Amino acid sequence: MLSEEEKEELKAELVQLEDEITTLRQVLSAKERHLVEIKQKLGMNLMNELKQNFSRSWHDVQTTTAYKKTHETLSHAGQKATAAFSNVGTAISKKFGDMRSHSIGYSIRHSISMPAMRNSPTFKSFEERVETTVTSLKTKVGGANHGGGSFEEVLSSTAHASAQSSAGGPRLAEGEELQC
C-alpha cells in the first residue's frame, strides 16, 4: 500500500513524464519535417530510397555464404544439364540422320508408320539412349524422381506438340541437319 504522500509524488512524476514525452514527440516531428525538406532540396525521393535499399539488400544477400553455395551448386547443375542436353541433341541428330538415310528420299512421316518405326532397332536404340540420358541427368542434377512421366508420355506429348507446330513451322531442307 502506498501512502498519500507517495501517491502524490507518483502522480507528479507521471505528469512530468507525459510532458516530456509530448515535448520529445514535438521535437521528433520537427526533425522529421526538416529531414523531408533536406531530401527534397537534394532531389531524393521515396523511389530512390527504395532502389538504394533494394540494391543494398541484394548486395548483402549475394555476400552470404548460403547464397554463394547455392549459386555455385545451381551453376554446376546448369553445366551438367547443358552437357546432357547437348548429348541428347547429338543423339537425336544422329538417329534422324540414320533414319533419313534409310528412308530413300521420303520423309520419315511418309516412309514408315509410327508403330513400325517405334519397333525398329534404330528407334529402340534411340529410346534406350534417351532414357539412360534422362536417368543420368536426374541423378546428377536432382537425385530424385520428379514425376516427369514415362518416356512414352513424354514422346506422345512431344509428338503432339510437334504435329501442332509443324503445320506452320519451318521445314528442313533435304540436306539440312536437325540442330538442337
Phi-psi region of 81 (alpha: psi -120 to 50; beta: other; left: phi over 0): alpha
HSE at residue 93, side-chain half, CA atoms within 13 A, is: 12
Domain range annotation of the chain = 4-45
pLDDT value of residue 149: 57
Alpha helices (H) along the chain: 4-42, 46-62, 65-102, 108-111, 114-118, 121-141, 151-166
HSE at residue 91, side-chain half, CA atoms within 13 A, is: 19
Integer Cα distance of 159 and 152 in angstroms: 10
Render each residue's pLDDT in the chain as its tens digit; 180 residues.
889 999 999 999 999 999 999 999 999 999 999 998 998 888 887 777 788 888 899 888 888 888 888 888 888 888 888 888 888 878 887 777 766 666 555 555 555 566 677 777 877 788 888 888 877 777 766 655 445 555 566 556 666 655 555 555 444 445 544 454
pLDDT value of residue 160: 63
| The Cα angle at residue 152 between residues 99 and 107, in degrees rounded to 5 | 25
